[in-house]
């Protein structure tokens, strides 16, 4: 599961970054920022909840 989360997070962040650069004509840069932010927030939230449910303490890693 952690590997899947990392892969999906990377894909979403890459898509958000490309949209932010205005490289895709039909997607606004502001949507890219929202996509990038959402992917980052979701990954961090799932990591923290998973750490807590796993052993009751934060094993946070960057």
Which pLDDT belongs to residue 62?
A: 46
Instruction: Confirm whether 44 is domain-assigned.
Output: yes
Range of the domain at 40: 2-55
| Structural domain contains residue 61 | no
Which pTM does this prediction carry?
0.64
8 A C-beta contact, residue 35 and residue 8: no
Long-range CB pairs of 7-13 (<8 Å, 24+ gap) are 8/39, 9/39, 9/40, 9/42, 9/43, 12/36, 12/38, 12/39, 13/39, 13/40
Ranges under pLDDT 70 in the chain: 1-2, 58-62
At residue 2, the pLDDT reads 64
Total structural domains within the chain: 1
């Amino acid at each position: 599961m952690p590997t899947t989360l990392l892969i999906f997070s990377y894909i979403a962040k890459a898509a958000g970054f490309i949209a932010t650069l205005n490289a895709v004509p039909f997607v606004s840069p502001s949507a890219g920022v929202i996509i990038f932010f959402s992917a980052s927030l979701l990954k961090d939230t799932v990591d923290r909840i998973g750490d807590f449910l796993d052993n009751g303490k934060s094993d946070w890693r960057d």
